[in-house]
């Protein structure tokens, strides 16, 4: 059985301008692979309502689960929640449950829950809140889309909350063989191996070190015995 498919939508001008290097995609990719969920596609869009709405609709239609990061803070460029409501035809306003969370948090700190901070309680009517143990302002799940913060510490905490609720497939087993030969020498035997093991995924990642060419060959699949057998065949074809 094929593993469930997932997609990610990264929202933010700061990534596309090169100001910030995104860290959440790489983190989520690793977590999903461990959970047996296939990350099939990632899109990065700017803080532009039309781009966000059209991307999240496309990804929500094409994949079982979608994760978004970014754009749920208190400033004018935090427009993700409103875009999600628009994308899925839902109403949005300050929600009492989210407001209560923020009120308790800021009361304890002696900080005013002003209009800007209250923006973080704007949650679509049909959404379920995602707990934020780091800085309280919640994420939310609407339809099959989990809407999370862009700040990596908060993003990671929200992923930890959401992941156990998803039904993953079999975790992917991955084995690597380092071959100290040019990729052009490896490609022939590797291609034959790929045909003999259509259920496995074979990747070749070339490197150059101290002037020598080589490649890390990664074989992935859900059946550990098959992965081991394929790695052994490959090792035999390239004796050290």
Of 145, 137, 221, 213, nearest to 182 by C-alpha is 213
- The nearer residue to a second copy, 125 or 184, going by C-beta atoms, is 184
Does the footprint of a second copy cover residue 163 (CB under 8 A)? no
Instruction: Choose one: 83-91, 159-167, 187-195, 228-236; the region binding a second copy (CB under 8 A).
Output: 187-195
- The answer to whether residue 104 forms part of the interface with a second copy (CB under 8 A) is no
Distances (CA, A) of 126 to 15, 54, 129: 30, 20, 10
Q: Report 141-160 residues binding a second copy (CB under 8 A).
A: 151
- Minimum CB–partner distance for residue 1 and a second copy (Å): 18
Any contact of residue 122 with a second copy (CB under 8 A)?
A: no
Distance CA(150)–CA(73), nearest Å, equals 9
Residue 126 or 220 having the CB closest to a second copy: 220
Do 187 and 204 contact (CB within 8 A), yes or no? yes
77 binds a second copy (CB under 8 A): yes
- Residue 123 near residue 85, CB atoms below 8 Å: no
User: According to the binding rule CB under 8 A, does residue 2 interact with a second copy?
Assistant: no
**Cα–Cα dist 183/168, whole Å:** 34
Using CB under 8 A, which of 1, 2, 18, 89 touches a second copy? 18
According to CB under 8 A, which one of 56, 66, 142, 190 is a site residue for a second copy?
190
What's the CA angle centered on 68, arms 4 and 72, to 5 degrees?
A: 155
Q: Specify the stretch interacting with a second copy by CB under 8 A; choose among 88-96, 125-133, 155-163, 202-210.
A: 202-210
DSSP string, 154-185: HHHHHHHHHGGGS---SPPEEEEEEE-S-HHH
Q: Which is nearer to a second copy, 89 or 110 (CB)?
A: 110
Cβ atoms of residues 44 and 103 within 8 Å: no
Task: Map the footprint of a second copy across residues 39-68, applying CB under 8 A.
Answer: 39-48, 51
Q: How do 92-94 and 122-124 pair as beta strands?
A: antiparallel
> By CB under 8 A, is residue 26 in contact with a second copy?
yes
Decide: helix, strand or coil at residue 147.
strand
Question: Which spans of this chain sit near a second copy (rule: CB under 8 A)?
Answer: 10, 13-22, 25-33, 38-48, 51, 73-77, 111, 114-117, 119, 151, 172, 174, 182-188, 190-191, 194, 201-206, 218, 220
């Amino acid at each position: 059985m094929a593993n469930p498919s997932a997609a990610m939508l990264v929202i933010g001008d700061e990534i596309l301008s090169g100001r910030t290097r995104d860290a959440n995609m790489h983190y989520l990719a690793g977590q999903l692979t461990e959970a047996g969920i296939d990350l099939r596609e990632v899109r990065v869009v700017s803080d532009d309502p039309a781009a966000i709405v059209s991307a999240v609709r496309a990804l929500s239609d094409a994949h079982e689960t979608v994760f978004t990061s970014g754009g749920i803070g208190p400033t004018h460029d935090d427009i993700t929640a409103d875009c999600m409501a628009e994308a899925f035809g839902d109403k949005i306003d300050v929600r009492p449950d989210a407001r209560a969370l923020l009120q308790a948090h800021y009361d304890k700190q002696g900080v005013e829950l002003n209009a800007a901070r209250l923006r973080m309680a704007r949650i679509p009517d049909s959404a379920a809140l995602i707990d934020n143990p780091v800085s309280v302002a919640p994420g939310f799940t609407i339809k099959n889309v989990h809407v999370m913060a862009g700040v990596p510490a908060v993003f990671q905490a929200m992923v930890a909350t959401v992941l156990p609720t998803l039904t993953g497939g079999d975790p992917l087993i991955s084995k690597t063989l380092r071959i100290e030969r040019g990729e052009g020498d490896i490609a022939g035997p590797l291609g034959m191996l790929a045909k003999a093991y259509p259920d496995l995924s074979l990747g070749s990642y070339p490197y150059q070190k101290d002037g020598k060419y080589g490649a890390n060959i990664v074989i992935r699949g859900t059946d550990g015995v098959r992965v081991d057998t394929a790695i052994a065949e490959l090792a035999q074809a390239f004796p050290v």
